Amino acid sequence: MRDLFLGLDCSTQSLTALLVDYNSGKVIYRYSINFDKDLPHYKTQNGVIILGDSQVIHSYPLMWVEALELLIKRMKNEKIPINKIKAISGSGQQHGTVYLNSKFERTLKELDVKKSLASQLEPTLSRHTSPIWMDSSTTKQCEEIRKNLGGLISTIELLGSNTIERFSGPQIRKFFQEKINDYNNTSIIHLVSSFMASILLGKNAPIDHGDGAGMNLMNIRTKLWDDRALEATAPNLKEKLPSLAHPFTIIGKLSPFFVDKFGFNPDTNLIVWSGDNPNSLIGVGLIERGKVAVSLGTSDTYFGYLHDLYLDFQGEGHVFGAPTGDYMSLICYKNGSLARERIKERFNINWEQFSEILNKSPPGNNGKLMLPYFFPEIVPQVLKPQVYRFGFDENDIEGNVRGIIEAQFLSMKLHSQWIGEKPKEIYATGGASTNKDIIQVLANVFNARVRIFDFTDSAALGAAFRAVKSFYDSEKKIKSWHEIIYNFIDFEKSIMVKPDKKYIELYRDMLDLYKKYEEYILKSGKNPDLSRLGFIKKYF
């Protein structure tokens, strides 16, 4: 008898399923629904819609629901043994909020197998779109909440993060201020993760501590909703939020809708969902200190396992709950894959050509340097997008290709210093981690080895690992994280990209230069052009 587990990941651009077989330690099925391509009637671009200006970015909860039904339908049509699945867990893009009215839970309990999920759930939404992590339109609300909580330091002490534009609390406050009637008609506010879990469960599912920490509403120490934060955000908010749960909680059995319509086993367990970054932490096997992961997905993130709570009082970094019950640190960039794609599209090249061009230019880019704010940026905070180029222009193909990659990793190195530990090894994941040439620049800038895996779906894999762990623990066949991770991930087989020691000093100097340009542009610092000329003289 095979023990199968399903990990789902509802990310910015796609919904992915990984079916894993614990006994063979293998992923036996992968399927992904791309929102733009497979559900074109929502007219999303890269899974999102831009409302008004570049700061208001939403997506459609019904699109995620339709994707879920489509995905499971395809699994059934392909005769995947879904009746053998023991447990399911999932992952969602973090921070996004879904607003539902009083019909939601009743509708979930009475779902009709003859009708589609989306058509039945449409009347239960009190807001048809969801603000997602790319939205940066809540600066006013962030300031109001922060002030109410006693300023930057006390906010970070309480919540593990500063108030941040994309986080759920400020987004909820904006909705309450701008659409008071719709807010009052909202009975429950879910995260993407708990919304998707609720549909599978057939009733409201809790939010886990990993994703809950990305809301500006959860006390980072007690891991409970914080009354002061709730009050500073919107009235009667506590009654509109699901409960909070440990990341290994079994939340119930799969809803009869999925059992009757698709043939799942009625005994299929559901494990609480979490955010994509906490899931990825476990999905790449990060359960110890000294190593960090860099995820190059729609967002670029840099994160690591924390045994103890460790806060960034500068306010750029975040602390979330980790799937192990400990903590994780994280910084997140909006100018990730989509910014790299801007350069790729500008010169009409594919990723192979992008790599070739990257390799033609030398490390240090002949002293050409970019500040890559194609979109509003999170770290450092840049609300009005603008790309700054020093020593080259937008028509210089080599300058731009190397310029963006070096800028992204230099910024990551600069802004991750609060975490304290210098990583000896970096685990790379996400769509762009398949690109070895991009990864070589990461290794050189950080002067660290980078491990590339033969899978990039670390969030879905992490969700499957959490399903494995919770299921076996509940059956008293306890398995350690180490055992589960090593059962599936063959670390020997992963590719190791080594830093080229020739460039240690060059990138140290370039980091200094990058910092000066950031200060020059963002904090009206001194113009560092002379230092850049010195850099060119020294290395080129």
Residues contributing to the site for ligand ADP (CB under 6 A): 11-14, 297-298, 337, 340-341, 351, 430-432, 434-435, 438, 456
281 touches 301 (CB < 8 A)? no
277 binds ligand XUL (CB under 6 A): yes
Q: Which of ligand ADP, ligand XUL, none sits in contact with 332, Cβ below 5 to 8 A by type? A: ligand XUL
User: Binding to ligand XUL by residue 255, rule CB under 6 A?
Assistant: no
Residue with the two structure tokens 């759920």: 168
| Phi, psi of 284, deg, nearest 5 | -100, 5
Q: Is 469 left (phi over 0), alpha (psi -120 to 50) or beta?
A: alpha
299 is an interface residue for ligand XUL by CB under 6 A: yes
Tell me the window of 91-99, 233-241, 250-258, 304-312 that interacts with ligand XUL (CB under 6 A). Answer: 91-99
Measure the CA–CA gap between 100 and 185, rounded to whole angstroms.
Answer: 8
Query: Rounded to the nearest whole angstrom, what is the least distance from the CB of residue 352 to ligand ADP in the complex?
Result: 8
Q: Which two three-digit tokens encode residue 427?
A: 């685990």
Answer for the pair 233, 226: CB distance below 8 angstroms, yes or no: no
Q: Which is nearer to ligand XUL, 156 or 506 (by Cβ)?
A: 156
Q: Decide if 485 contacts 282 (C-beta within 8 A).
A: yes
Cβ-based nearer residue to ligand ADP, 111 or 443:
443
Check binding of 133 to ligand XUL (CB under 6 A): yes
Residue 447 zone, left/alpha/beta (φ > 0; ψ -120 to 50; rest) = left
Nearer to ligand ADP (CB atom), residue 232 or residue 331: 331
What does the alpha-carbon distance between residue 138 and residue 163 come to, in Å, rounded to a whole number? Answer: 10
- The closest alpha carbon to 9, from 33, 26, 28, 27, belongs to 33
User: Which long-range contacts does 15-21 make (Cβ < 8 Å, 24+ apart)?
Assistant: 15/64, 15/67, 15/68, 15/71, 16/457, 16/459, 16/460, 17/71, 17/75, 17/460, 18/457, 18/460, 18/461, 18/463, 18/464, 19/75, 19/80, 19/85, 19/464, 20/461, 20/464, 20/468, 20/488
Q: How far is the CB of 95 from ligand XUL (least distance, A)?
A: 5
Angle, helices 397-415 vs 351-360, to 10°: value is 90
Stretch (H or E) spanning 300: strand 300-306
| Residue 14 contact partner, candidates ligand ADP, ligand XUL, none, CB within 5 to 8 A by sort of partner | ligand ADP
Q: Of ligand ADP, ligand XUL, none, which one sits near residue 44, judging by CB under 5 to 8 A according to partner kind?
A: none
Judged by CB under 6 A, which of 9, 165, 276, 457 binds ligand XUL? 276
Answer for which of 58, 86, 95, 209 binds ligand XUL (CB under 6 A) is 95
Of 116 and 355, which CB lies nearer to ligand ADP in the complex structure? 355
Q: Which is nearer to ligand ADP, 13 or 107 (CB)?
A: 13
> Which entry of ligand XUL, ligand ADP, none binds 94, CB below 5 to 8 A by partner kind?
ligand XUL
Q: Which does 148 bind (CB under 5 to 8 A by kind): ligand ADP, ligand XUL, none?
A: none
Nearest residue to 512 via CA among 415, 419, 414 = 414
Of the pair 155, 337, the CB lying nearest ligand ADP is at 337
Would you say 34 or 187 has its CB closer to ligand ADP? Answer: 34
Q: How many CB atoms lie within 10 A of CB 67?
A: 26
142, 55 Cβ separation under 8 angstroms: no
> Is residue 458 a contact residue for ligand XUL (CB under 6 A)?
no
How many Å apart are CA 195 and CA 191, to the nearest integer?
Answer: 6
Instruction: Name the segment binding ligand XUL (CB under 6 A); options: 89-97, 352-360, 362-370, 381-389.
Output: 89-97
Query: Taking CB under 6 A as the rule, does residue 291 contact ligand XUL?
Result: no
Q: Among ligand XUL, ligand ADP, none, what does residue 13 contact (CB within 5–8 Å per kind)?
A: ligand ADP
Alpha-carbon distance 392 to 77, whole Å?
Answer: 53
Task: Decide if residue 322 touches ligand XUL (CB under 6 A).
Answer: no
Residue 136 within binding range of ligand XUL, rule CB under 6 A: no
**Cβ distance to ligand ADP smaller for residue 264 or 374:** 374
- Nearer residue to ligand ADP within complex by CB, 38 or 182: 38
Total number of residues that touch ligand XUL (CB under 6 A)? 16
Three-state DSSP class for 318? strand
Token pair for 227 = 């009354």
Closer CB to ligand XUL, 87 or 328, in the complex: 328
**Partner interacting with residue 133 (select from ligand ADP, ligand XUL, none; CB below 5-8 Å by kind):** ligand XUL
| Residue with Cβ nearer ligand ADP (229 or 432) | 432
User: What's the min distance (Å) between Cβ of 208 and ligand ADP?
Assistant: 19
Q: Distance from CA of residue 293 to its chain's centroid?
A: 12
Task: Tell me which stretch binds ligand XUL (CB under 6 A): 27-35, 90-98, 195-203, 345-353.
Answer: 90-98
396 binds, among ligand XUL, ligand ADP, none (CB under 5 to 8 A by kind): none
What residue ranges bind ligand XUL (CB under 6 A)?
A: 12, 93-95, 133, 166, 214, 275-277, 297-299, 301, 330, 332
